[in-house]
Structure 1
């Protein structure tokens, strides 16, 4: 099997792969990693649904993805979804469930990073509400469309190393809001969600994995001052965590986990640079995943806590 690394692109990973007849859902396809992920899958013949917050702002991007799929028969459809509103998530899933078309790939890519303190439409802290709870409801409600061989990829981040998920004060009602801590909590939650989802559904042949795409300049950083944003590839200062990737390199691990990797090796795990990451709590080992983000007991507790928060149960 070909070995890929931090410099590999989504096109490198999918070279020679035929995805005709496969159906994929990718959240957050208006720009950056999500846009490149959707393009790469569509170009290999997959039928891709890409979610965006505002359809009117992505007409050019949608046309580019559709053009990429022309050679191999891939198709792309942009659909509106606001992960910060559970009403929107449920309306979206109801629409897909009514169509009853099976899903082979689901990539939970969308996210918000380091915004000022705020709340989703349902009253959750913005980052936890969008990054974790929105995807928690979205993925679980679409399980009826999944089948043996379906893969769910949940994007996490190296930032998970800075904070564990918080069950006692997820909305910062009793502690001062810190945007990085909130982001880190949500990214740990993303990793834990993949752990528990994989545990619950592996018996049906439905598997899940979390992925750290690496440091990529994207709209995720739109809330940061310009001097605090990720430098473009090739302009990273000394002391940065890993290489600065292009969107094509950032999408590589997502499509690798969704299509190429051995799911028995990566199921329930945390991956980066197209490989399973080691577990290590050394604060200086940014290539590793923390034990807290892979703890099955924490994953189960987060699942149950999330169900209470969203008011919906998703039994095994």
Structure 2
């Protein structure tokens, strides 16, 4: 029986008493914020962690504490180069992992971008859908043969999925005007739908997938927001909270923000979280109200929508996955 955790639980509290010796975990975005803390917490409990990052020099500097935690806790840590905004880089990284041949128990798709000015990836995709969803879609599917039976995939989504459903006919804002928050919402909904469909396809051999919302945390993810934009966003969140009878928004610390990732990855019951969206170290309820607040919109868990997004994603990347 798992313990009860909540919004203020930290990675170390969630993992207290958990021994991960012999477990191997891939964490993307291991050069800052949640990715570094996720890697540190897992390595400190004995896991062998592979951190993926676009800028290896930056990641080396940022993960000195991860290596220390691994040494103390009996785990291991290594870095690989991965630029999710380039499918050539994604395929190169996945090819190296496949050639290496060592299995993974967990993949945590943590890396992402939030509300940047309009831009395109190396393959011409809108930056957020290309990085947050399509890059991970190709990476995870290519290395899926390395996931051990009983393994898990955790995709990092956000309450921001409430900004927008995916737009399958216009994934790259070619027909509609670009809005950075709509783009973020589409990509975060895609992260949930990917977990739903990946879980359906792989649960037969015990591999489960879940999406998680880490909460609001001050990290490099918010580098594209101005102070005025941040103030306006928090005001809109508090308005939605007030209408739902919820307390005002509070930022989490980075260890609190990474807690739901490690909880869903190695602590929570697999059957409970498989194909679901989690927040504050529990499975979220379906909430169809307006505004950015807790819960998950029904469209993000829709199985037909998840299957359609999978097919559209295969079409866009030019690669099919069984």
TM-score range, shorter chain: over 0.9
Q: Is the 8 A contact 1:216 1:230 kept in 2?
A: no
Who is 1:267 aligned against?
Answer: 274
Count matched residues.
Answer: 311
The answer for unaligned runs of 5 or more in structure 1 is none
Who is 1:69 aligned against?
Answer: 70
Q: Is the 8 A contact 2:43 2:77 kept in 1?
A: yes
Judged with a 3 Å threshold, the aligned counterparts in structure 2 of structure 1 residues 238 and 244 are, in CA distance, closer, same or farther, namely: farther
Q: Is the 8 A contact 1:112 1:130 kept in 2?
A: yes
SS at 2:74's partner residue?
Answer: coil
1:215 to partner: Cα distance: 0.4
1:226 to partner: Cα distance: 3.4
Counterparts of residues 141-290 of structure 1 (less than 5 Å): 141-229=142-230, 242-284=249-291, 286-290=293-297
Who is 1:11 aligned against?
Answer: 12
Judged with a 3 Å threshold, the aligned counterparts in structure 2 of structure 1 residues 40 and 281 are, in CA distance, closer, same or farther, namely: same
CA distance in 2 between counterparts of 1:162 and 1:225 reads 19
Query: Is 1:300 the counterpart of 2:307 in the alignment?
Result: yes
SS at 2:84's partner residue?
Answer: coil
In terms of fraction of residues, the more helix-rich structure is 2
Q: Is the 8 A contact 1:215 1:230 kept in 2?
A: no
1:190 to partner: Cα distance: 0.3
Who is 2:245 aligned against?
Answer: none
TM-score, normalising length: structure 1? 0.95
SS at 1:313's partner residue?
Answer: coil
1:241-299 CA deviation, whole Å, 9 max, x = no partner? 64310110000000000000001011000000000001121115721101000000000
The answer for unaligned runs of 5 or more in structure 2 is 242-247
CA distance in 2 between counterparts of 1:56 and 1:263 reads 36
Q: Is the 8 A contact 1:62 1:77 kept in 2?
A: no
Q: Is the 8 A contact 1:20 1:72 kept in 2?
A: no
Who is 2:244 aligned against?
Answer: none
TM-score, normalising length: structure 2? 0.93
1:34-76 CA deviation, whole Å, 9 max, x = no partner? 1100000010011001111111123222221000111221111
Who is 1:96 aligned against?
Answer: 97
CA distance in 1 between counterparts of 2:127 and 2:113 reads 8
Who is 1:58 aligned against?
Answer: 59
1:238 to partner: Cα distance: 8.2
1:219 to partner: Cα distance: 0.7
CA distance in 1 between counterparts of 2:53 and 2:223 reads 16
CA distance in 1 between counterparts of 2:206 and 2:281 reads 22
1:106 to partner: Cα distance: 0.5
1:124 to partner: Cα distance: 0.1
Q: Pick which of 273-282 and 123-132 moved more.
A: 273-282
Judged with a 3 Å threshold, the aligned counterparts in structure 2 of structure 1 residues 133 and 285 are, in CA distance, closer, same or farther, namely: closer
SS at 1:142's partner residue?
Answer: helix
Counterparts of residues 93-132 of structure 1 (less than 5 Å): 93-132=94-133
1:2 to partner: Cα distance: 1.1
SS at 1:69's partner residue?
Answer: helix
CA distance in 2 between counterparts of 1:54 and 1:193 reads 26
Judged with a 3 Å threshold, the aligned counterparts in structure 2 of structure 1 residues 242 and 276 are, in CA distance, closer, same or farther, namely: farther
